[in-house]
Amino acid sequence: SVNLPLAGKKVVVTAGPTRERIDPVRYISNFSSGKMGYAMAEAAVKLGASTVLISGPVDLPKPSGVRLLKVESAAEMLEAVLAEYEDASIVIKSAAVADYRPKEAHAQKMKKKEGDSSISLERTTDILKTLGAQKKNQILIGFAAETNDAVAYGQSKLDSKNLDYIIVNDVTDPGGGFGSDTNVVTLLTKTGKTFPFEAMLKSQLAAALLEKIIEEERTTVHD
């Protein structure tokens, strides 16, 4: 229907940071609060979608109407997303997934020693790139968190990960980024369009982004 344009569609949203364990008491992570991803999931529910929210460790309540799957690491998030991918209509990757993890997760707490220390890191799997490579009919929406040349870096992620849309987030903008209730983003489409969004509450922005994407899907002829 016009009011519930995502009725009958499955939307998968990822949110929050991942945690990569160093030992039982320490980890590597980032400043994602999950607010942007949770807002995307709530907006999808309001548009009628059957919504799966795959979330890293955050301090937010479960949005009503979503199926919530909690994960910790990038590897767990990859597994959960792949299990939900095949019958998904739209996948939205708001999560701030760690790009590196410790080569070794120690079974016991590492003991303090004299002098400096270092940890060897290895790459995690790029979840979004994996999804892009396996894409059939899904609409794939990425985020890009950047501190400089945001739109150019976002464009190159849109292309290299085979995305349909990317939401570019300059996380140095005082109106948004990690942890805040508001955000400022630019939406790029694979058809070459650029839509800047003013600073607004993440809840309002999520609704505005989905509305714009639905409108683009209605009016764009796909190859």
**Contact residues for ligand PMT, defined by CB under 6 A:** 32-37, 74, 93-97, 99, 124, 126-128, 142-145, 157, 169, 171, 177-179
Q: Which is nearer to ligand PMT, 31 or 86 (CB)?
A: 31
Determine whether the annotation assigns residue 109 to a binding site.
yes
Q: Which of these, 181, 185, 188, 180, lies nearest to 161 by C-alpha position? A: 188
Torsion of CA 173, 179, 180, 184, to 10 degrees: 40
Shortest distance (Å) from residue 44 CB to ligand PMT: 16
Which residues are part of the catalytic machinery? Answer: 30
CA atoms within 13 A of residue 132's CA, in its CB half-sphere: 19
Quick one: tokens of 81? 């997303």
* Cα–Cα distance for residue pair 108/101, rounded to 1 Å: 17
Cβ neighbours of 60 (radius 10 Å): 15
Q: Which is nearer to ligand PMT, 32 or 114 (CB)?
A: 32
Shortest distance (Å) from residue 155 CB to ligand PMT: 12
Q: Which is nearer to ligand PMT, 14 or 51 (CB)?
A: 14
Q: Is 11 left (phi over 0), alpha (psi -120 to 50) or beta?
A: beta
Quick one: tokens of 106? 């120690």
Determine whether the annotation assigns residue 143 to a binding site.
yes
Q: Which is nearer to ligand PMT, 41 or 144 (CB)?
A: 144
Binding residues for CTP, as ranges, are 99, 109, 143, 157, 161
